[in-house]
Structure formats: structure tokens, C-alpha cells
Amino acid sequence: MRILIVEDESKTAAYLNKGLSESGFLVDIASNGEDGLFLATNYHYDLIILDIMLPKIDGWTIIKDIRRLHPDARVLFLTARDGVEDKVKGLELGADDYLVKPFAFSELLARIRSLLRRGSTQSSDNLTISDLTIDIIKHKATRGSIRLNLTPKEFALLVMLAQRTGEVLSRTLIAESVWDINFDSDTNVVDVAIRRLRQKVDDPFEKKLIHTVRGMGYVLEER
């Protein structure tokens, strides 16, 4: 498995290189956007870890070119930028996942493994679980023929759950990923957000897709 890291902070790049090499990956590093774009579009990588703020060419531009040339490439944004708008923009542009610095290496590794396991049938722009369809580019979610009217935050939350179908996601992980806040003990905000999302995604329909796993978190799957 070959991974490309596009990262201009040499410390972060070295840390990633060490950790990923020790985990058995072949790693290439580009320290600016121009080199990153060249490597990403001229060589095959199983996964590209992409920073957003980069010298010469930024991550937004790079992912557009990657998506145009290699629609199947898996891309994980790793960035200090936060805010749900950035996250939604990243997902809209075709990122498969998004992790905000600082991060735990174990969390990054878990996400990388999950991305690499993910079947290529699940294209990055469209997610389908049962009769739920999510079009990330068009910002549209439907169940059957019924369009769901979601806020940007609800949409980001649904995308996150759908991209990791069958995986139980903890409240802390959801809070950190969708809101970029460390809630510690107060993850009640996640429960409230999930309840609102359920009212739109599940309540009007017979088949429920969002499930509570007691003591652990939430999972979106067909049961």
C-alpha cells in the first residue's frame, strides 16, 4: 500500500512518515502543492493525505485535479483549518475523509484502514445505504423519492455516518469531527443533533437507518 503525504510542515510530515512506515505503508512526501500535484497525478497511490494550506498550490486546487484525473483515488484531508464549512467544502470537492490537526495517530491510522477497506463500489460523490441516497456534490439527500431537507450541519453529520456505514462512531468522535470542539463530558449536543437528524431521516419512514449503540455511540446501517 502506497501513501502520498502532501504536507509543508516538516515536523508533521516526518511524524506521519515514521508512523505510517512503521505500520507497513510505503510513503512518499511532497512538501509543497506543486510537487504534491505532480506526484498525485503522475503516480498511483492507494491513499493521498492532503494538507489544505500549502505553498504554491493549495489543497483545494490539488483535489480538483486529482478528482478529474483519478476519480477513484482516496483522499484524506489533514488540516489545521476548522469549521464545518471547510469540512463540507472538502467533502464536496471529493475528499473521502477529513481530519483536523492536532490529531491522535491512532485515530488517523484507523481512518486510513477504514478508507482502504472501503469497497470501490461506493463512489466518493454518491453514497447509498438502503433507500437513502446522498449526493455530496449536489448537497442532496433522499430516501426513496423523497428529498430530505437538511441543514449544512445535519448534512455533514449524515455524510460522516454514511461514509462509515456499519462502524459505531462515538459521541466524542462525532463531536470532534462535525463541530471541531472537544466536548469531553458534554456530548449531549451530539444526542440532540442525532435526534434532529433522525426526525428527518428516519421518523417518516418505516425502515430505520440510524441506530443507538448503548454506551458506545451511533451507527448508520441497514438492519
Residues of this chain that bind Ca ion (CB under 5 A): 8, 51, 53
35 Cβ partners below 8 Å, 6+ apart? 6
> Closest distance between Ca ion and the C-beta of residue 29, in Å?
13
The residue among 137, 76, 138 whose CA lies nearest residue 107 is: 76
Give the nearest residue (CB) to Ca ion.
53
Q: Whose Cβ is closer to Ca ion: residue 7's or residue 154's?
A: 7
Residues 4 and 48: beta-carbon distance below 8 Å: yes
Whether the bond into 55 is cis, omega within 30 of 0: no
Q: Which is nearer to Ca ion, 53 or 213 (CB)?
A: 53
User: Least distance (Å) from Ca ion to the CB of residue 16?
Assistant: 13
Least distance from Ca ion to the Cβ atom of residue 116, Å: 24
Sheet holding 26-30, edge to edge: 26-30, 2-6, 47-50, 75-79, 97-100
Residue 80 Cβ vs Ca ion, minimum distance, rounded to whole Å: 7
Q: Give 222's Cβ-side CA count (13 Å radius).
A: 7
Nearer to Ca ion, 51 or 97 (CB): 51
Judged by beta carbon, residue 51 or residue 154, the one nearer Ca ion is 51
